[in-house]
Structures are given as structure tokens and as C-alpha cells.
Amino acid sequence: MLVGTLSLLADGSEVFAYDKSYVASKIAVPIYPVLPLQLEGFTTQQTRAAFASLGPEGPVGHDIRTALRAGRDAVTPVLARLNHETIGALTFTDDGRRPSYEGAGVTPLDTDTLASFARNPERAAFEELMRSRLSLNGAVSKIGAIRTEEGWGRPQELMPSTHILKAGTPAFPHQMLNEALCMRCAVACGFDDAAQTDLIPIDGCDPILASQRFDRMTVKERPAGLPETMRLHQADFCQTLGISVDALKYTPSDELIEGYTASVAAAISRESSERYGDRSYVFDMLAFDYLVGNCDNHLKNLSLTWSPDWTRKAISPPYDITCTTVYADLSREMGMGIGRHRAIDAVEPADFPLMAEQLGVGWRQARDSLSQMAEAVAPSMMDCAHELEMECGVKAIELAEHLVGDCRGRVEVALKASM
């Protein structure tokens, strides 16, 4: 169904407007919280706040914008070119024709292509995204893929991808193994719905990370012509809070920490169908980020996911968790802080009950959850390392020991908070 039109005007401004027939339909709902149902077009700021998160960032995003001669902040040219699949359930067309699954399918991602991606992630990701017309956000080099019985495949036309493949850079050794350990540790610590992560070994270089998409689900009985994989809509919290400036996905200063946390809590209360449970879930997510040393927990790594019929929303499972504190060149300030502190080394026991208050969560429940995670994180990390070594032949135990040593002081702070 045609939802609306995204336009780049001659003066460089961008406007999104809902289609009149969509607004008048019985199934119409806002596609993003920042875009309420209305017939008037939205401002450039509102439009970019809603759609900017759908495009690639970092070096790959820069290369794509350069190739398309698109401005730094423009979203329309990027989505016009990378329009077969984005994060969430929306697809785009730039020729006025309704998107069709005719021709949708899968072609193999062979070993040479995967090896090229592992060895030169930025160039390979650029070429794959331009070829597949698939847009993936984030600064890490990534490509969309489909897991098949034979291995890995490349989605063709509108075929939904099932996984995101990521490759690290030499600047951050063992980056993908690090994320695999942290994501599996999250599952072991109680985040049962966290994305399933696997490693694809590549001869002569670090493995590729394969992460199952949480905005996809398998539906066996779908109408004829539709694939079994169904897209689920989602919006990160930059989109949800209407933040279009990329730098502001991180809390700007210590003075604004409480404001950001309160804004997230208010948005959950306003948008989520599981208000209290989701606020508690965010407390647990932020506490886990602290424990494992994930300072990259910015607002684009926190999302809402819609139900298949678009009638309910809930906080998405955790994703993109990495221990950043083991890399000396990376900031030790958290994207979303704990209590009154962004600097991870400045967090103290009193910050945890304050964070629970900011999120509108009962401290007794939050304290029990914090205590359980703090006690489980180190042994769970080591168990996950043994699993990965058995599955993939990677040297995960040595890195896991390093991560456990790095988190030891934070575990002590959390246990003091929960006493």
C-alpha cells in the first residue's frame, strides 16, 4: 500500500507527506512517532529525523553519498537508490510503480565474496549495498544476507534478508569475536530474545559476525507470491524522539543524562504496549551495557518494534553490544549514562537506584535483576567463549578472560548497589 511520498526540493529541503488514501484508510497508523497522521507535509527537520536512521553511516555512508552526489544530511537520494530493503518494514520506489516481489530470490554469497568482505569491509560493503539496493544503518561495515541450507545467499530484488553480516577493522582487534561474546553473554544473562549471533571463519583474517535480524519473522502460510520471511517495522529512539542530528544520538553532556533517560521513559510510556515491562527491560539493558563495558549504547541502538499487524509496539531485543572499554582509543563515556554519570568509570552504586527512578521502575525489582546479572556476567562470558571455540575454532577464551578482567570493577560497583 502506498503510504506517502518523500521529496527532495530544489532548495535542498526534504518533505514527507502521507498519501491521502492512506490517511483515509481504516488501517492507517503513523509510520514513526515523529510523523503523526496528517495531510500536511512535514518539515525538513521532521522528515530527516524520521528517515535519516535508515541510511548507512561512517565511511560506507560517505562513499554512497559521494557516488550519488547527495548532500551530507539528505535522505531522499540515498533511499531512492538503496530502496529494496531498509531497517523495518518500509520499501521505497523512485519510479512511481508499486514494489513487486516478482523476480525476488536468492543468489549465493560464495566464499570469495565473504573473504573479500572480511579483508576489505568498507569497499565490499559499498559494492554489495549498491548492487543489492539494500540500506543498512550504522557505522560498522555490514551487508544483508539470507541463511540457506547451502550456506549464505544474497537477497535479490525485494527478497527480505534474514541476517546482517558484519566485518571488523584492524584498528579494533577481534571486534566481531568481541560482539559475539557479548551478545551470547546477554542471552545467558536473561535476554532470551537477543539476536542470535554466529561467526563465519575466514582464512587469514578475523571472522565475520552473522546476526539474525530481530525485525524479521518467519510466517509459513503467507499469500501466494510472498516470501516466508516477513518484515517487521521498527524505529530507533532517534526516530522516536525526533532527533535528526547524528551527534545527538549520544547524550550531549552529564547535565542532560537525566533528561535523556526521562525522555526515553516517557516515550516508552507513550508508545509501548508493554509500558512498565519495557521500562524495566531498558533498565536491565543499560545495566548490562555497563557491566560488559559497552559505551556505544546510543539512541540508535535502542528501538521499538511493531507487531505484524502494526497494532502494538514493544522495546526491541538487545543488539550491537560490544565491550568498547578494552579499546584504549575509544571513548569511555556511555551513549546513555547510568544515573548522573556518562563516564563509565565514574558510575557509583547510588546511580542505579536513581536510574530506576528515572525510568519509573521499582527499585526492589531492579535491584534483584542487577544482582543476578552482576553475578552471572563473568561465568556466562567464559561459558560462551568455550561454546564459540567448539563451534568455530576461534580463540575466544583468551579474549573472554580479558573482557572478564575488564568488567571486574564494574561488577563490584553493581553488587554494592544491589546490597
Model confidence over 135-171: pLDDT tens digits? 455 556 888 899 988 899 988 878 899 999 999 888 8
Give me the mean pLDDT over the 371-384 stretch. Answer: 98
Among candidate residues 176, 358, 164, 369, the one with its CA nearest the CA of residue 285:
369
Res. 131 pLDDT band, cuts 50 70 90: low
Strand, coil or helix: 124:
helix
What residues pair up with 198 in beta bridges, in sequence order?
210
Are the C-beta atoms of 304 and 297 separated by less than 8 Å? no
Q: 18, 39 in Cβ contact below 8 A?
A: yes
The answer on pLDDT for 134 being more than 60 is: no
Mean pLDDT value across residues 265-282: 96
Burial class (CB in 10 A: 0-12, 13-18, 19+), 258: middle
The Cα-based distances of 129 to 61, 91, 291, 352, 395 in angstroms read: 10, 15, 34, 41, 31
pLDDT greater at residue 256 or residue 74: 74
Instruction: Quote the DSSP letter at residue 140.
Output: S
| Grid cell for residue 68 | 550519488
Mean pLDDT throughout 246-266?
A: 66
SS3 383: helix
CATH architecture of 233-417: Orthogonal Bundle (1.10)
* Alpha carbon distance 212, 316 (integer Å): 13
**Mean pLDDT of the region 334-347:** 94
Say whether 120 sits in a helix, a strand or coil.
Answer: coil
Q: What is residue 92's predicted lDDT score, i.e. its pLDDT?
A: 84
In sequence order, which residues have a C-beta less than 8 Å from that of residue 221 and are 6 or more positions away?
A: none
* Residue 132 or residue 202, greater confidence: 202
Taking the CA atoms of 362, 320, 69 and 16 in sequence, report the sign of the dihedral they define. Answer: negative
389-399 per-position pLDDT tens digit = 999 888 999 99
pLDDT of residue 143: 85
Instruction: Give pLDDT, residue 251.
Output: 55
Average pLDDT over every residue of 112-135: 77
Mean pLDDT of 307-319: 95
**Within 13 Å, how many C-alpha atoms sit on residue 301's CB side?**
23
Per-chain mean pLDDT for the chain:
88
Average pLDDT over residues 412-416: 98
Tell me phi and psi for residue 282, to 5 degrees. -65, -40
Percent of the chain whose pLDDT exceeds 70: 91
At 8-65, the pLDDT tens digits run: 999 989 999 999 999 999 999 999 999 999 999 999 999 999 998 887 777 767 777 7
Q: Could you tell me the end-to-end alpha-carbon distance of the chain, in angstroms, rounded to an integer? A: 54
pLDDT of residue 227: 84
Query: Is 100's pLDDT higher than 60?
Result: yes
Cα 153 off chain centre by: 21
**Domain range annotation of the chain:** 4-167, 233-417
Confidence of residue 130 (pLDDT cuts 50, 70, 90): low
253's grid cell: 553532556
- pLDDT at res. 274: 95
For the stretch 198-228, pLDDT in tens is 999 998 889 999 999 999 998 888 777 778 8
pLDDT tens column, 71-91 = 777 888 888 777 667 778 888
Of 28, 37, 130, 31, nearest in space to 80 by CA: 130
